[in-house]
Chain A
Amino acid sequence: MPEPEATCCQEPEVDFVELDRIIRDEFGGRREAMIMMMQTIQRRYRYLPEQALYYLSQVLDVPITKIYEVATFYASFSLVPKGKHLLHVCTGTACHLKGSGGMVRHVAAKLGIEPGATTPDMKITLETVNCLGACAVSPVVVFDDKYYPQATVGKLNEFIEKVNAE
């Protein structure tokens, strides 16, 4: 395994001034907007850094256990850093019928990780998603936010080779 890259994936420095802006200015410090604040934080850091959640807890005066509850209840939140590339395989019903389950097993075996996990070199995170609403062109995979319709095992191999070649 190559050494982890130092650029994107180590515990990031949390920018508290920016965090404050997100919580107070963008969402007015309202407790009801907590889920959307967490989504904004996750978009910024690609996961929810512990420090940011403790800060959120203080500003909103919400116990950290409640924040942890929300962070673990909703599937889109992650408490661990994600890899440099994101590979989503849709496992909605239409995609499932067209064989997306086999594709997930194939990639997972090839990368040596479970769905939801990141490779040890932090290069790629494999995730499944329940339905992207693009059932007509199933099976669908999304690699770094770009949709690939009628995906095949071969297409997935291409992504992995591309990432490994970096």
Chain B
Amino acid sequence: MATASSTAPDLAWTKKISSPQELAPYRRALIESMDPDAPRIRVCCGTGCKAVGSLEVLEAMKTAVAAAGADVHVMPEVKRTGCHGFCSRGPLLTLEPQGLFYQRVKPEDAVEIVQKTVVAGEVIQRFLYKPPGAKEAIAKVGDIPFFAKQTKLVLKRVGRIDPFDIRDAIAEGAYEGLAKVLAGMTPQQVIEEIKISRLRGRGGAGFPTGIKWESCAGQPGRHYVICNGDEGDPGAFMDASVMEGDPHAVLEGMAIAAYAMGSDRGFLYVRMEYPLAVQTLAAAIRQAEDLGLMGQNIMGTDFSFRTSISTGAGAFVCGESSALMSSLEGKVGRPRAKYIRSTEKGFRDSPSNLNNVETYANVPGIILRGGQWYTTYGTERSAGTKVFSLTGNVHNVGLVEVPMGTSLREIVFGIGGGIPNKKQLKAVQTGGPSGGCIPIPGKFIDINVGFGKLAEIGSMMGSGGMIVMDENTCMVEVSRYFINFLVEESCGQCTPCREGLTRMREILTRITGGEGREGDIELLEEIGQFTNSFSLCGLGTSAANPVLSTIRYFREEYEAHIRGKKCPAGVCKPLYYYEIDPEKCTGCGVCRKRCPAEAIEGEKKKPHTIHQELCIKCMECYRNCKFDSIRIM
């Protein structure tokens, strides 16, 4: 097979798949047509790698491979793929058959990689990943702890296939679950299998998927199947990576759900901030319809399912199910009271089933290998795996899929590689803006991550954002940040959420501004409990979590702000200043050059000083000093 193009593949040579039994031979033919000996170079083109220039690397690799055509026996295949997960090391390449992992590759390295590694089989040391603290670099993907310690069920094809070529996905097993369903399962059997798997909604609430499907299927009228791709939590990008890297898993899951509930119409609601996901999904739908895997009379059966994409318009609250459905109808996205469930009366007042991207992506595997198989992963109450987006102050930022019940220690240190710059771990924030901050050191480091456990300690699972915070994070400021976010995003229809959040922001801004008063903490607790108790929707009833959880675990930090007028972490501007330690300063001049306010002066190789009246406290010097000589006072 020649160099794969990154645009839509030409499917003209194929005919529609006309029965569920035809998919397996089609897959075999596809696999046979691919040369098993051909070297494969996979270039990660997820959002993170794209931001650091992976598309240029992709083009350069293609050019270099084409130029080396005469030197190789088999033409290597260069393909763009979705997110490999290891986003902080981008742009990333994996090279087969050796299974090599190259990181931080630049376009100008392409010729060297093709000549040395692809043609001569030599490993280039400088592209290899070296874990923090290790002496030896690691060559193979499978040996890197970040990858080796994960269990990939949802992400199994993400990063392996070209998301713009359906043949790649089919060769790796896409639509086999749907074929199995159409070949001889009744809708009731499908629902039973999902119930056996104990799959719970991955969007945050953790409602059992099988029970939701069953209650929706039992309603009269036209049914709708909706996918929630409105991943609004800042710091979370797992759904984006699934949609961008393996859109067919989502479509197949939706089609199976539609079959189980007797629906013929689906919608994908995707955030407008994810333009790449919209492109991959649109291409995937078109190609699947061309092959007869979606649309009218799927695989020659009586089952039809048409689906289309709607984009959001920048409203966090639209991730809430009833608000999302209202937005799909072209209205403002305000949640409604849930005395009637959406499965009864949702979109267009008809029975509607709404699940998250990751939930649907779990479905094909469960159908194919059985619900029982799925329960072998995870814990009693939380079966299967969960994808987390690990971000913040941690070495290995990226996507991590682990069985439910994995400990925070394993995720942050085992997979995440610990905290950079010799800093101490302070807290982990889970559950998005309305989740909670969990203090880690000593206390909860060995807690097993699952739906029940996180709620017990005052946080929540949410959709899977996991933000690691080091000692330089001010918990009062973090809680002000989240409350400020929620004030902006509150839809404003119910008073506890609208007014409660605004008042909490007022108080928190006062505290971080150095004007905190005695009694502020108690007032925050009172308002917070009220907001959480009396708001209408899921956003409101969890809105005070960031405040309540930080007060619960970091009360002394609030007190330091209010009584001592100090910000121990050095974040709240009026409550600290920077100073250069003359003992440690080598006079390298990095801070002087980087300071945008020209507030630092000093001669070469002599200790520098900061002019406090000019300093804008942008942290640029502090972040970039290699000698740890800038102190927070």
Interface residues in chain A, defined as those with a beta carbon under 8 Å from any beta carbon in chain B: 30-36, 38-39, 66, 69-70, 73-77, 91-94, 96-97, 99, 101-103, 106, 129-138, 140, 147-149, 152-154, 157
Judge whether B47 and A34 touch: CB under 8 Å.
Answer: no
Query: Beyond A34-B330, A137-B51, is A157–B596 a contact (Cβ under 8 Å)?
Result: yes
Judge whether B594 and A69 touch: CB under 8 Å.
Answer: no
Query: Beyond A94-B392, A97-B469, is A135–B48 a contact (Cβ under 8 Å)?
Result: yes
Q: Which one of B67-75, B133-141, B191-199, B233-241 is at the interface?
A: B233-241
Judge whether B311 and A93 touch: CB under 8 Å.
Answer: no
Partner of A31, one of B330, B393, B623: B330
Dominant SS at the A interface? helix
Measured CA separation A130–B619 after assembly (Å): 21
Judge whether A138 and B50 touch: CB under 8 Å.
Answer: no
Closest B residue by C-beta to A140: B51
How distant is A157 from chain B, measured CB to nearest CB, in Å? Answer: 6
Determine which residue in A73, A93, A106, A138 has the highest number of CB atoms from chain B within 10 A of its CB, and name it: A93
Measured CA separation A99–B616 after assembly (Å): 13
Judge whether B51 and A154 touch: CB under 8 Å.
Answer: no
Determine which residue in A74, A91, A147, A154 has the highest number of CB atoms from chain B within 10 A of its CB, and name it: A74
Query: Beyond A93-B481, A131-B234, is A102–B619 a contact (Cβ under 8 Å)?
Result: yes
Residue B355 interfacial (CB < 8 Å) = no
Judge whether B618 and A134 touch: CB under 8 Å.
Answer: no
Question: Which residues of chain A have C-beta atoms less than 8 A from B469's C-beta?
Answer: 97
Measured CA separation A154–B618 after assembly (Å): 11
Judge whether A106 and B596 touch: CB under 8 Å.
Answer: yes
How distant is B201 from chain A, measured CB to nearest CB, in Å? Answer: 21
Residue B282 interfacial (CB < 8 Å) = no
Partner of B50, one of A74, A97, A147: A147
Closest B residue by C-beta to A75: B314
Closest A residue by C-beta to B330: A34
Question: Which residues of chain B have C-beta atoms less than 8 A from A103's C-beta?
Answer: 618
How distant is B492 from chain A, measured CB to nearest CB, in Å? Answer: 9
Partner of A136, one of B393, B397, B491: B397
Judge whether A153 and B392 touch: CB under 8 Å.
Answer: no
Measured CA separation A25–B556 after assembly (Å): 62
Measured CA separation A32–B224 after assembly (Å): 15
Judge whether A70 and B618 touch: CB under 8 Å.
Answer: no
Query: Beyond A33-B330, A76-B272, A135-B237, is A39–B311 a contact (Cβ under 8 Å)?
Result: yes
Determine which residue in B272, B274, B482 has the highest number of CB atoms from chain A within 10 A of its CB, and name it: B272
Judge whether B392 and A97 touch: CB under 8 Å.
Answer: yes
Partner of A99, one of B88, B234, B330, B618: B618
Question: Which residues of chain B have C-beta atoms less than 8 A from A91's C-beta?
Answer: 234
Question: Which residues of chain B have C-beta atoms less than 8 A from A152's C-beta?
Answer: 594, 620
Judge whether A130 and B618 touch: CB under 8 Å.
Answer: no
Judge whether B273 and A136 touch: CB under 8 Å.
Answer: no
Residue B457 interfacial (CB < 8 Å) = no
How distant is B431 from chain A, measured CB to nearest CB, in Å? Answer: 11
Closest A residue by C-beta to B241: A133
How many residue pairs between the two chains, A and B, have CB atoms under 8 Å in the bound complex?
144
16 extra interchain contacts, Cβ-Cβ under 8 A, other than A133-B237, A134-B48?
A70-B331, A74-B332, A74-B333, A76-B314, A93-B433, A94-B234, A97-B392, A102-B616, A102-B617, A130-B232, A131-B237, A133-B47, A133-B240, A137-B90, A147-B51, A154-B596
Partner of A134, one of B47, B311, B315: B47
Judge whether B237 and A137 touch: CB under 8 Å.
Answer: no
Judge whether A69 and B332 touch: CB under 8 Å.
Answer: yes
Judge whether A131 and B313 touch: CB under 8 Å.
Answer: no
Question: Which residues of chain A have C-beta atoms less than 8 A from B52's C-beta?
Answer: 137, 149
Measured CA separation A94–B470 after assembly (Å): 12
Closest B residue by C-beta to A145: B275
Judge whether B235 and A74 touch: CB under 8 Å.
Answer: no
Closest A residue by C-beta to B485: A130
Q: Mark B609-630, 1 if CB is under 8 A from A, else 0.
A: 0000000111110010000000
Judge whether A136 and B48 touch: CB under 8 Å.
Answer: yes
Partner of A74, one of B240, B273, B310, B314: B314
Judge whether B429 and A136 touch: CB under 8 Å.
Answer: no
Partner of A135, one of B311, B327, B397, B429: B397
Partner of B273, one of A39, A133, A149: A133
Q: Mark B319-335, 1 if CB is under 8 A from A, else 0.
A: 00000000111111100
Judge whether A73 and B333 touch: CB under 8 Å.
Answer: yes
Contact residues, B292-333 vs A (CB, 8 A): 310-316, 327-333
Partner of B234, one of A69, A93, A106, A153: A93
